[in-house]
Amino acid sequence: MSTYFAGNYDVAVIGAGHAGIEAALASARLGCKTAIFTINMDAVGNCPCNPSIGGTAKGHLVREIDALGGEMGKTADECFLQMRMLNLGKGPAVHSLRAQIDRRKYQDVMKHKLELCDNLDLRQAEITDIEKNDDGTWTITTRMLAQFIAKTVIIATGTYLGGKIFIGEVSYESGPDGVFPATFLGESLRKLGISTRRFKTGTPARVKRSTIDLDRLEVQQGDNPPVPFSFDTESLGENKVVCHVSYTNEDTKKIILDNIHRSPLYGGKIEGVGPRYCPSLEDKIVRFEHKERHQLFIEPCGLDTEEMYLQGMSSSLPEEVQLQFYHTIPGLENALIMRPAYAIEYDCIDPTTMNATLEFRDFEGLYGAGQFNGSSGYEEAAAQGLVAGINAAHKVLGKEPFILDRASSYIGTLIDDLVTKGANEPYRMMTSRSEYRLILRQDNADERLTKIGYELGLISQERYERFNKKQELIKQELNRAKNTVIPYSDELNDILVSRETSKVSNSIRLIELLKRPQLNYEVLKSVDVTRPDLPMSVFEQVEIAIKYDGYIKKQLAQVEQMRKLEVKKLPDDVDYKTLTGLRLEAQEKLSKIRPANIGQASRISGVSPADISVLLIWLAKRSQDTHSSEVKNDV
């Protein structure tokens, strides 16, 4: 059978999950003729695991995607069922928004946005082959033997690439949710010279709502009022659902341990490396054998379905064992399993073979994003997809590469970690991964990134003007807090005593009161008589700036030091094995990763401060030799 020519594109995106969607929308919106390919049109934007968006650190990524002009936050707002701000008992650096979403509505909304986007074609096809052409373009071939020529290609295959499902002794080739896997593309990539490896993830069972005894469960309410993800969303309305909490017990533990030999994870059938921070229930039982119970969250998958998701209970044990241990849990004694839990193994690549643009170093015009790059999570995928889409478009348009550094965003931290440190297991974003988390809060993502999104062309003029107005209000309110004097009064002292902070004997500036950790704008509302009518987001920004002023200044100084190293560029063609003084391990790591600058080199595992000193001395000497040569030539 012969192939046939089916068309030309500037950017071809393989996969229409969360990474592929953001990549395709970004490149199309930047003016590039774009195609996005999906194995099954009904799987576009699927959430095969949690029916939720956000969570600890992940909420930061969603806010940043939104500030840059991406779509995930807006769509989560449109499809939310319940919103909760996590970690409110801690400082603002770790506050993270999480939305329970209507899973099918999210898919429908995202698919329709792709369909309506100018310059973008959504096509159902399995890509089976990819080849580099002599002119630098790429040829991609579908299973139906259609061939497309693309100037750039983004691979965002999620868990479909070589996907294999495991449920006890049963295993079979499949993508998530029983959709066909991508069975041929992996071999094509390996023929091209791109090595792959096996990772694994999993998902819990879905159970029928009417078979759950909700009266036996703890109720988990959403926030009132709910806070949106998108800085463009004015109001969400009311939460539509509640979630519930239950716990495993000794009976659950016994059933799992009695059947642990039937787990493909412990029986050696699963080769792939699983996510350490999202283990299966049997993994938690074995690893934390002295823990009496494990928490699980029972969450609705949508308003028009009876399926309930059991967060925290993924498993690859046989279906009959799943039935037994699920029925030991309070509230689930009679639960009907509509979809059993399963583990899925898939192919991914070593992300250290990529640049910070997410372009393969040895394959110009070829990009990767999402779980294909060794990460886990919808939010991590979407963030990478946005960056890959922007860079693929910039490659086509002849523009400068788009790179976010670690001090600009969690997105920058995520990508820097992947391309510099690699991923020996599915990478999950956490607030602890950022050394600059006090300035990389979710609440100020717009302040950090909206201007960048506007300059890219992904933020509209209208939205940028609204952003600038908000920034001006913040500036004005900060000045007011500095200059407003709250007069001494019994009422003021009563407030201070009630909040367990010291009284005052004279009038005091508002800013001095707001510096106290026990006080905030809301508490002081009755004595702050000149307080203007402003959005709560403005007061939030001012209060954080006042309370954490010293810490923020200290972190900004650290950023300045980091960026001094980032501007010290390393030539791409340097032969590290010829540099005297570099340790053997450093030579090997630097030769493999080929860092763009001294800052990136310093973050490579196995490169010591002494090795960095060698590089700095070499760069200085090289610069001096170059300068001397230029002077000699001028003479």
Instruction: Supply 293's token pair.
Output: 């119970």
Could you tell me if 203 and 49 are in contact, meaning their C-beta atoms sit under 8 angstroms apart? yes
Answer whether residue 516 shows pLDDT above 60. Answer: yes
The predicted model gives 72-97 an average pLDDT of: 96
Q: For 336-358, what is each residue's pLDDT tens digit?
A: 999 999 999 999 999 999 999 99
- For domain 4-199+346-455, the CATH superfamily is FAD/NAD(P)-binding domain (3.50.50.60)
d(CA 302, CA 43): 16
**Mean of pLDDT values over 7-15:** 98
Q: What is the pLDDT of residues 522-549, one digit of tens each?
A: 999 999 999 999 999 999 999 999 999 9
CATH 1.10.3720.10 for domain 567-634: no
Yes or no: say if 619 and 568 are a contact pair by the CB < 8 Å rule: yes
Q: What percent of the chain has pLDDT over 70?
A: 98
Check residues 306 and 268 and name the one with the higher pLDDT.
Answer: 306
133: tokens are 């052409």
Reply yes or no on whether the pLDDT at 135 is more than 50. yes
The pLDDT value given to residue 269: 86
Residue 318 — pLDDT band, cuts 50, 70, 90? Answer: very high
Tell me the sheet residues that pair with 246: 296
Chain segment 150-203, per-residue pLDDT in tens? 999 999 999 999 999 999 999 999 999 999 999 999 999 999 999 999 999 999
Residue 615 has pLDDT above 70, yes or no: yes
Summarised one tens digit per residue, pLDDT across range 388-425 is 999 999 999 999 999 999 999 999 999 999 999 999 99
pLDDT given at position 626: 65
Q: Would you state the pLDDT for residue 273? A: 86
In this prediction, what percent of the chain has a pLDDT beyond 90? 92
pLDDT of residue 627 exceeding 60, the answer is no
* Per-domain residue ranges of the chain: 4-199+346-455, 206-345, 478-554, 567-634
Q: Dihedral sign, CA of 36, 39, 44, 49?
A: negative
Q: Does the pLDDT at position 30 exceed 70?
A: yes
Tokens of 196: 């792959």
Assess whether pLDDT exceeds 70 at residue 18.
Answer: yes
Structure confidence by residue, pLDDT tens digits, 576-595: 999 999 999 999 999 999 99
**Which residues pair with residue 182 across a beta bridge?**
161
- pLDDT tens profile 548-584: 999 999 999 999 989 999 999 999 889 999 999 999 9
Pick the closest to residue 515 from 481, 554, 487 (CA basis).
Answer: 481
CA 351 to chain centre: 15
Per-chain mean pLDDT for the chain: 95
Looking at the domain covering 206-345, what would its CATH class be? mainly beta
pLDDT in tens, 235-282: 899 999 999 999 999 999 999 999 999 999 888 888 888 887 778 999
**Distance in angstroms (rounded) separating the CA atoms of residues 302 and 101:** 7
Instruction: Please state which CATH class domain 478-554 belongs to.
Output: mainly alpha
- The whole-angstrom separation of Cα 432 and Cα 579 is 34
Same fold, 478-554 and 567-634: no
| 631 pLDDT higher than 50 | no
pLDDT at 630 over 80: no
Q: What is the pLDDT of residue 1?
A: 75
In the chain, how long is the greatest CA-to-CA distance? 91
Check whether 47 has a pLDDT greater than 90: yes
